[in-house]
Each structure stands twice: as structure tokens, then as C-alpha cells.
Amino acid sequence: QKEVEQNSGPLSVPEGAIASLNCTYSDRVSQSFFWYRQYSGKSPELIMSIYSNGDKEDGRFTAQLNKASQYVSLLIRDSQPSDSATYLCAVLPSGTYKYIFGTGTRLKVLA
């Protein structure tokens, strides 16, 4: 079992819809969780970080964390074609600097 799992996609949603991206992790001591966006041929850029159970909202993005279920998700409201990218989930186990990334979910927002 991979330490951080994501569905590779592609996930296709129409413009204006809500895109829901999911990630599960295996390490129960993980404390910090991150969502990165990576456009094709570019480097990752941080969208959201979340450390506590519940929801965290930033503009059109909402991160949701459920540590009991070892599950973190990212919702993108009012999806735009410019949101089309690969979304990487990353987990940071407690007491380390070793970020663990998933393989990413490719999102396509159809105009």
C-alpha cells in the first residue's frame, strides 16, 4: 500500500461545477497535509495546507481533513478551465521534514 494514495484521473468536470479531489494516507502520526497544483511542464505550487480536522476555506478552495479516516480532500468551487492541472496531495509525518507526495489527480475543466 502506498503511503499517500490518489486517483490518477483524469477527473473531468464542466466549467462552473464543483471538483472534488480525494487523498488517503497510511501514516497515523501525520500531522500536516498539503494540496499542490502542478501545471503540465511546470513545478508544483502550494494551494492549501490543513493541520486540524474539519474544513478550511480559501476563496474557491476548501480543504477537508478527517484524521480518524485518514482522508483529506480538496473541493474547487466554480471550476474554471484554468484550474485544469494535476493536483498533488502531500503529507508530512510528525517530527520529520520528509514530505510524502501522492501521484496526483489530473483535473480537466471543460469549457
Partner 1 sequence: GAGVSQSPRYKVAKRGQDVALRCDPISGHVSLFWYQQALGQGPEFLTYFQNEAQLDKSGLPSDRFFAERPEGSVSTLKIQRTQQEDSAVYLCASSPGAQTQETQYFGPGTRLLVL
Residues lying near partner 1 in the complex (CB under 8 A) are found at 4, 8, 32, 42-46, 49, 51, 88, 90, 92, 96-104
Nearer to partner 1 (CB atom), residue 97 or residue 111: 97
3-state secondary structure of 82: helix
> In whole angstroms, what is the distance from residue 12 CA to residue 111 CA?
11
Nearer to partner 1 (CB atom), residue 17 or residue 93: 93
Q: Taking the complex as a whole, how short is the minimal distance between the CB of residue 72 and partner 1, in angstroms?
A: 14
> In whole angstroms, what is the distance from residue 3 CA to residue 26 CA?
5
Nearer to partner 1 (CB atom), residue 28 or residue 42: 42
> In whole angstroms, what is the distance from residue 3 CA to residue 103 CA?
11
